[in-house]
Amino acid sequence: MAEIISLIILAGSFLGMAGLIYRKIPVLIELPQSAEKPIKRNFKEKLKETAKKLPFLKGFSYEIILQKLLAKIRILTLKTDNKTSNWLKRLRIKEKIRKNLDESYWEKIKGNKK
């Protein structure tokens, strides 16, 4: 039963696609062979052009802003690196202290039993 329903849906889909293609073939034939596409400028280029037109942005340089941004990102990564390094040092010191305490604790317990 499920197979029959699936076949009916499949046949209906094929008939629907064939009908759409049959209706659109005349429209496709009427289209010109080579349609010239207008040159589309992307958002970045439009933004640059409008920035150049504004009087207070005449000396505006994207490279300087990029340099400043990269310098700030570098400083931020160095700060986080330094912070994680300090955390690792503290964890290693705590681990060393804990190991020393554990060894002395078990030695004291062994000494009390004797």
How do the pLDDT tens digits run along the chain, 114 residues long?
889 999 999 999 999 999 999 999 888 888 877 756 666 678 888 877 777 777 776 676 778 889 999 999 999 999 999 999 999 999 999 998 888 777 777 777 777 655
pLDDT of residue 10: 95
CA distances from 21 to 24, 29, 35, 92 (A): 5, 12, 21, 72
pTM here is 0.41
pLDDT of residue 113: 59
